[in-house]
């Protein structure tokens, strides 16, 4: 018998061009009516260009007619904005009190680790003046969309991302906007991007505790913060600043990640603490949250980031990071 479940299962095979996740995962299926050998499907038009809507319409009719009993199918589009469609279970912000400690790297690895566990994951690059997510993931696809919104760009492993770099004519273009404009861009990335259904949206924050990270904390419903630091002297003070900011904004800290913790030299089978002794335990204590991971300085990782191949990095540190993050967050039901 033709059921709603069977129809949804078949629609889950249809990718939305650009985002490359299915109609179902993008939450675009609004209504299904089954009556007398006929199926009526209403889809949301959010962020879909006319030509994409037409393409999807034809594919949906195709897929439905292949189902048991070859039912007739009709497809209509209802107006909707991404904001009304998006269903995001957890918004996790990656933060640090200072620049260049590896926030974007940790944001990328966190997304990868969660994706490898089978979750639906997106990355919102909230660093408008220094975006680095697209480069790490080798994303150079152009963003598509319509009057109502835009579609994120999908990585090779199916992580959705939005970054100002994906909207600029050339990736070298500088963004020299002032605060209010930056704030508006971040709000638009939240409200006008069709993220669909996501288990996790990872937000890569700009460095520091100034204007832009503040905007993110005020605009987005952050469910938890991960603080990144390196084992250097000044770090303790900087981590404490970040912790204070998170507390003032009433956001919970999921944990801390120590980056550039050590360098492993295989020839002598030794870990060298280049930037000084690990301060993982001390920082976890200061944040009142667990130490989620300690990442080594790994030249192979830096190379993969430069080449846009961060998703090829496979090391047990990533698996461990994913496991401890999943433990720190109450795992949502998989969408
Ligand atoms: N553990 C590591 N091993 C090797 N290279 C690393 C490591 N962590 C960071 N890097 C390299 O250091 C550089 C800075 O990292 P990243 O961009 O993640 O820092 P950030 O905190 O996001 O910086 P910003 O404050 O400018 O946003 C990158 O080029 C990255 O490849
Ligand atoms: Mg960064």
Whether pLDDT at 112 is above 90: yes
- Looking at all shown ligands, the one closest to residue 300's CA atom is 1
CATH superfamily of 4-80: Fe-S cluster assembly (FSCA) (3.30.300.130)
Q: What is the pLDDT of residues 315-326, one digit of tens each?
A: 888 888 888 888
Whether pLDDT at 126 is above 80: yes
- What is the average pLDDT score of the chain? 90
Q: Which of 102, 216, 260 to mutate to test the pocket of ligand 1 (most atoms within 8 A of CB)?
A: 102
Q: State the CATH architecture for 84-328.
A: 3-Layer(aba) Sandwich (3.40)
CA 170 to ligand 1 centroid distance, Å: 22
Q: Which residue has the higher pLDDT, 242 or 163?
A: 163
Mean pLDDT of 166-175: 78
CA 104 to ligand 2 centroid distance, Å: 4
pLDDT of residue 241: 87
pLDDT of residue 10: 95
Q: What is the pLDDT of residues 278-306, one digit of tens each?
A: 889 999 999 999 999 999 999 999 999 99
pLDDT of residue 317: 85
Q: Which residue has the higher pLDDT, 169 or 222?
A: 222
Q: What is the pLDDT of residues 133-152, one digit of tens each?
A: 999 999 987 788 999 999 99
Q: Which residue has the higher pLDDT, 153 or 18?
A: 153
Residues with CB under 6 A from ligand 1: 96, 99-105, 127, 130, 132, 207, 259-260, 295, 297-298, 301-302, 305
Q: Which residue has the higher pLDDT, 181 or 130?
A: 130
Q: Which of 105, 108, 182, 303 to mutate to test the pocket of ligand 1 (most atoms within 8 A of CB)?
A: 105
From CA 309, how far away is CA 141, in angstroms rounded?
Answer: 15
pLDDT of residue 335: 52
Mean pLDDT of 256-268: 92
pLDDT of residue 140: 81
Q: Which residue has the higher pLDDT, 213 or 331?
A: 213
pLDDT of residue 332: 47
Closest atom, ligand 1, to C-alpha of 228: 21
Whether pLDDT at 260 is above 50: yes
Q: What is the pLDDT of residues 232-257, one digit of tens each?
A: 867 778 888 889 889 988 999 999 99
What are the residue ranges spanned by the domains of the chain? 4-80, 84-328
Closest atom, ligand 1, to C-alpha of 132: 17
Q: Which residue has the higher pLDDT, 20 or 225?
A: 225
Model confidence at 77, pLDDT cuts 50, 70, 90, reads: very high
């Amino acid at each position: 018998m033709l059921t709603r479940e069977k129809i949804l299962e078949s629609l889950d095979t249809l990718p939305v061009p650009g985002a490359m996740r299915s109609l179902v995962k993008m939450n675009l299926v609004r209504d299904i009516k089954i009556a007398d050998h006929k199926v009526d499907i209403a889809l949301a038009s959010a962020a879909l260009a006319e030509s994409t809507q037409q393409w999807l319409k034809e594919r949906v009719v195709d897929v439905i007619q292949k189902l048991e009993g070859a039912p007739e199918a009709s497809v209509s589009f209802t107006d909707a904005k991404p904001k009304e469609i998006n269903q995001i279970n957890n918004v996790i912000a990656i933060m640090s009190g200072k620049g260049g400690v590896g926030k974007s790297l940790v944001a990328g690895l966190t997304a990868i680790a969660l994706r490898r566990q089978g979750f639906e994951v997106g990355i919102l690059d909230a660093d408008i003046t220094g975006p680095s997510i697209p480069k790490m993931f080798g994303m150079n696809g152009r963003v598509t969309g319509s009057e109502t919104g835009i579609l994120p760009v999908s990585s090779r492993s199916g992580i959705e991302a939005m970054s100002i770099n994906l909207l600029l004519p050339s990736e070298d273009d500088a963004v020299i906007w002032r605060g209010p404009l930056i704030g508006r861009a971040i709000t638009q990335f939240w409200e006008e991007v069709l993220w669909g259904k996501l288990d996790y949206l990872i937000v890569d924050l700009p460095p520091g505790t100034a204007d832009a990270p503040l905007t993110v904390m005020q605009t987005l419903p952050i469910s938890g913060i991960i603080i990144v630091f390196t084992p250097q002297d000044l770090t303790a003070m900087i981590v404490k600043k970040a912790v204070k900011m998170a507390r003032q904004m009433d956001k919970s800290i999921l944990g801390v990640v120590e980056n550039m913790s050590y360098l492993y030299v295989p020839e002598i089978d030794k870990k060298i603490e280049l930037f000084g002794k690990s301060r993982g335990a001390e920082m976890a204590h200061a944040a009142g949250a667990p130490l989620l991971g300690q990442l080594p300085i790994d030249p192979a990782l830096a190379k993969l980031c430069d080449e846009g191949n961060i998703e090829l990095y496979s090391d047990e540190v990533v698996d461990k990071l994913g496991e401890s993050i999943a433990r720190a967050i109450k795992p949502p039901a998989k969408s």
